[in-house]
Structure 1
Amino acid sequence: MTETLFQHRKQPEICPQCGSPLHIRQGKKGLFLGCSAYPQCDYLKPLQVQSEHKILKQLTEVCPHCGRPLQVKQGSFGIFIGCSGYPDCHFIVQEKQDEPEQSFACPECGKGQLVARRGRQGKTFYACNQFPRCKFTLAGQPYQVSCPNCGANISSLKKSSETHRTFVCANRLCKHIFDVEIAD
Structure 2
Amino acid sequence: MSKSDKPLFSHHEHALEKEYQVCPECGSELTIKHGKSGSFFGCANYPNCQYTRPVVEHERVEDKILPGSECPKCNHNLAVKQGRYGMFIGCSNFPECDYIEHEEEKQLIEIPCPSCHKGALKEKTSRYGKKFYSCDAYPKCKFIVNFEPVKGVCQKCSFPLLLKRNMAAGIKYQCANKKCSAMQSA
Structure 1 residues 102 and 130: CA distance shift in structure 2, 3 A: closer
Equivalent in the alignment of 1:150: 157
- The answer as to 2:33 corresponding to 1:27 is no
The 1:151–1:120 alpha-carbon spacing in structure 2 relative to 1, beyond 3 Å, is: same
Q: Which residue of 1 aligns with 2:90?
A: 82
Decide whether aligned partners of structure 1 residues 130 and 88 sit closer, same or farther in structure 2, where only a CA change above 3 A counts: farther
* 1:166 has 2:167 as partner: no
Q: Which amino acid aligns with 2:135?
A: C
Q: Name the one with the larger strand percent.
A: 1
Deviations 1:53-97 (A, max 9, x none): 976753111323234321234667776422233343221224544
Q: Percent identity?
A: 27
| 1:69 and 2:77 aligned | yes
Aligned length: 147
- Which ranges in structure 1 are unaligned for 5 or more consecutive residues? 1-7, 13-22, 34-44
1:92 and 2:95 are equivalent in the alignment: no
Q: Once superposed, what is the RMSD of the aligned Cα atoms?
A: 4.6
Superposition TM-score, scaled by structure 1 size: 0.53
- TM-score w.r.t. length of structure 2: 0.52
Corresponding residue for residue 136 of structure 1: 144
**Aligned letter for 1:177?**
M
Structure 2 unaligned segments of length 5 or more: list them. 1-21, 43-49
SS of residue matched to 1:62: coil
Q: Tell me, in whole angstroms, the C-alpha distance in 2 between the residues paired with 1:135 and 1:74.
A: 37
Aligned equivalents of 2:127, 2:73: Cα separation in 1:
26
